[in-house]
Amino acid sequence: MKLGEGVEAAIHCAATLASVEGNSTMPGAALAESFGLSPSYLLKHLNMLTAARILESVPGPAGGYRLARAAERITLLDIVLAVEGREPAFRCGEIRRNGPVKLDASAYVKPCGINAAMLKAEAAYRAALAETKLSDIVATYAAEGDPRSLAASCAFVERHQRPQKPNPTTKV
């Protein structure tokens, strides 16, 4: 069981974008630089977040990314599912049917108990992720993070964020 590195990048980027003021945006290249990531590859993950309506993107110069809704309404589960996909980690192959004795399909109408137990555990995992909001991450960082790190992040955001024209159609 393993999560791709994109999850870590996506959460960090989303947390950074939560610090961007108003409807300003931040270019993907700046986000990549902010965490020492490959820009081309990070865009793939940011794209996943955009497709999942977690981020909004603005093309053109002075464009970039911003949160699609308030950080209070974005959970870690939203981000993880957007990047890793919505399929459960445990996929039942129904190998119980593959024995030497072939039974009628009616013998397997009841769901596999092993699958049920695994999915139940995964539901607990997702519930825990759903409990943590992006705003919690940011708040914890602001409250407990090192002041130097905090100052550096704020300066970086300040330097790279770009104000947008008020746009009625995309306005929150």
Partner DNA sequence: TTATCGTGGATAGATTTTATCTGCAATAGG
Partner DNA sequence: CCTATTGCAGATAAAATCTATCCACGATAA
Q: Is 163 in the site for a second copy (CB under 8 A)?
A: no
Q: CA 22 to CA 8: how far, in whole Å?
A: 25
In Å, what is the CA distance from 169 to each residue of 84, 166, 172? 30, 9, 9
Q: 8-11, long-range: CB within 8 Å, 24+ apart, which pairs?
A: 9/35, 9/37, 9/42, 9/45, 10/45, 10/46, 10/48, 10/49, 10/79, 10/82, 10/83, 11/76, 11/79, 11/134, 11/137
Q: Is residue 132 within the footprint of DNA (CB under 7 A)?
A: no
Under rule CB under 7 A, residue 27 binds DNA: yes
Tokens of 154: 């704020």
Shortest CB 159 distance to DNA, Å: 12
Residue 35 touches a second copy, criterion: CB under 8 A: yes
Asked if residue 90 binds a second copy (CB under 8 A), the reply is yes
Q: With contacts defined by CB under 8 A, how many residues of the chain interact with a second copy?
A: 65
Residues of the shown chain interacting with a second copy in the complex, contacts defined by CB under 8 A: 1-3, 5, 7-9, 11-12, 15, 33-37, 76, 80, 84-85, 89-93, 95-96, 98-101, 103-104, 106-110, 113-114, 117-118, 120-129, 132, 136-137, 140-141, 144-146, 148-149, 152-153, 155-156
Give the residues lining the site for DNA (CB under 7 A). 2, 4-6, 25, 27-29, 37-41, 43-44, 46-47, 50-51, 57-65, 165
